[in-house]
Chain A
Amino acid sequence: MNTDRFDLGGGEPIITLRDVAKSYWREALEIPVLQGIDLEIPVGAYIALMGPSGSGKTTLLNLVAGIDRPTGGSLEVCGHELNSLDDDQLAAWRNAHVGFIFQNYNLVPVLNAFENVELPLLLTGAGRGERRDRVEEALALVNLTDRMGNYPRQLSGGQEQRVAIARAIVTDPDLLVADEPTGALDAKNAEEVLALMERLNSEYRKTIVMVTHDPKAAHHARHQIHLEKGVLDKAVEVNR
């Protein structure tokens, strides 16, 4: 294990990957997407995963987020060995520990902003009052309190993404996972979203792992990890 190759700032590791590999099968052929990934990501890190198309960055993100399983190796994320969790346990784990931010926001069109943010809380067993408090808190953080009753079709792209971020943080997870968060946004909105994410990382100590092509987004991260053909290529500290 050569973690010394990738010095990501030290501190308690929130994500530990040992010899992680992922392959897909097309007919009888095994197509390896990730091979021999060894990585430690400390709490409070802000990582941008980068690399050319097909490098496996999204796959790595999926594994870390617990929405896919490796074909080899082990991952320990947020204190749990993911391979030891069955599907239902993994779902519960995600609800408690991970917040998702997608390129296409993926808000439920038939629910308004408040209800969209409330969704993950429905699984926590929290009562109506508590849920309302936490939703309002999250929406306040992303500065969309006045849009609580609006439906996604009534919001701009940037606003939608901010609602999605509010949804991602409402359960107060340790880890935020983002797949091209600014991919569908114009420059101004992208800037707003990135500023928000930076705040979440610096002020609220959220660990963020983000896949992006956008150099501007990558610049907001504190470390960039490059992947090349399924293996870790290099890690770069960002100069702000």
Chain B
Amino acid sequence: MRWLALIWKSLMRSKRRTLLIVGSLILSVFTVAVLQSLLTTLNAVTNNPNSSNRLVVRHKSGLTQMLPRSYEAYLRQQSEVETVCALQWFGGYYQDPRNFFANFASDETTLFQTFREEFGAAGISEAQIKDYLRDGAGCIVGESLAKKNGWKVGDVVPLTGTIFPINPRLTIRLIYKSPKPSDENVLHFHYKVLEEGVPRMKGLVGSFWVRTHRPEDIPRFIERVDRHYANSAYETLTETENAFNLAFVKMLGNIGAIIQGITAAVVVAILIVTGNTMATAIRERTTEIAVFRAMGFSAGRVLGLLLFEGVLLVGVGGCLGVLVANLAAGAVRASLGMAMPFFADFAILPDTVLACLAGAMAIGLLATFIPAYAATRRPITEGLRAVG
């Protein structure tokens, strides 16, 4: 039997107590892991590496104001620009308004180049792209969306418009795979459908998504475009895609503060409960600790053994908690992904796991330290005299 065995057996001294504490820890760490992952998911939205070359041009007053389609010509002329894709959030639904997915009316001729990373340029079928381009009433959908509704290429999807008073019937011409799950919960159809169906949208669009040749060109481009249209009838606001997404995330409000607040409260609670448990466990062994020291275990060694015990306890609880969080990640994706598109990408990242584990160990250390230190400072004779 070596040290680890000794420590383990000490923890098993009261199986019920160890189990209850570990249970408590599993639940708490699970909560913290999920909450922190929610934050990292949101932050990732605004740090999308794929977006480095892309910008959004929209009306200065906000997304509900339209820009003239004619702006596209000016944008195309700029030397930094590779492609321009007009995009309008359609906001329709299929059968049940609660089955939310993103749907857009977009420029089919430039859609695939502008968003090549999202459409998985490698795996996409040229023939199917041609079919989509040819069919004015065609649409493209992401694989997970198609799977969820049991759609195949060739199926007709009737959309009910909420923002716009049209209910287009669209034929699926292409199903694509995307590296991020949230990008597959999307449907695109031809912009003409919207223009022709909704008179007030003729010649107007909500936003232009621009792909530049190089990221370094972006600041110059932004400055030029916004200056060009300043004080015009339709003023523009141009920003990077990440900045655009950030605005959406910010719309959720002070979620960051609330999550951190709850995390802090949970951490404090874990600290208190663990501290109390370790203190009780150590107090029970006052005589035993004195006997160890009499046998020749130095105060430092006893302290080390006790600290290790506390860390092991919290460590086990922490590992299991993170494990459960991982298992539940799928469920979180499914449920929250419905409500907010970003959360379809929810995942427990290795960084979060490490942070939670390290935090747990630190808590174990801190919580155990005070009672353990006090125990080793007590004179041996006092410990031997103590009852129980």
Contact = CB atoms under 8 A, between A and B. Distances in A.
A and B touch in the complex (CB under 8 A): yes
A110 B379 contact: no
B148 interface: no
A92 B12 contact: no
- The main secondary structure of chain A at its interface with chain B is helix
Contact of B380 (A68, A110, A122): A68
B298 A102 contact: no
A94 B296 contact: yes
Nearest to A123: B296
Q: How large is the interface on A (under 10, 10 to 19, 20 to 34, 35 or more residues)?
A: 20 to 34
A115 B287 CA distance: 18
Nearest to A93: B296
A71 interface: no
Interface string B359-386: 0000000000000000000011100100
B3 interface: yes
A118 B13 contact: no
A118 B9 CA distance: 14
Interface in A86-132: 87-88, 91-96, 98, 100, 102, 104, 106, 108-111, 115, 118-120, 122-123
B10 A110 contact: yes
A100 B1 contact: no
Nearest to A97: B296
A66 B200 CA distance: 96
Interface residues of B, number: 25
B297 A106 contact: no
Interface string B275-298: 000000000000110011111111
A98 B291 CA distance: 12
Interface string B8-31: 011011000000000000000000
A155 interface: no
B381 A91 contact: no
A109 B12 CA distance: 11
Contact of A100 (B3, B294, B381): B294
A91 B297 contact: yes
A83 interface: no
B148 to A, nearest CB: 53
B2 interface: yes
Interface of A: 62, 65, 67-68, 87-88, 91-96, 98, 100, 102, 104, 106, 108-111, 115, 118-120, 122-123, 167, 179
25 contacts: A62-B381, A67-B293, A68-B380, A87-B298, A87-B299, A88-B299, A91-B299, A92-B296, A94-B294, A95-B295, A95-B296, A100-B295, A108-B288, A109-B13, A110-B10, A115-B1, A115-B9, A119-B295, A120-B295, A120-B296, A122-B1, A122-B3, A123-B295, A123-B296, A167-B295
Closest 4 CB pairs of A and B: A95-B296, A91-B298, A67-B380, A110-B9
Interface of B: 1-3, 6, 9-10, 12-13, 287-288, 291-301, 379-381, 384
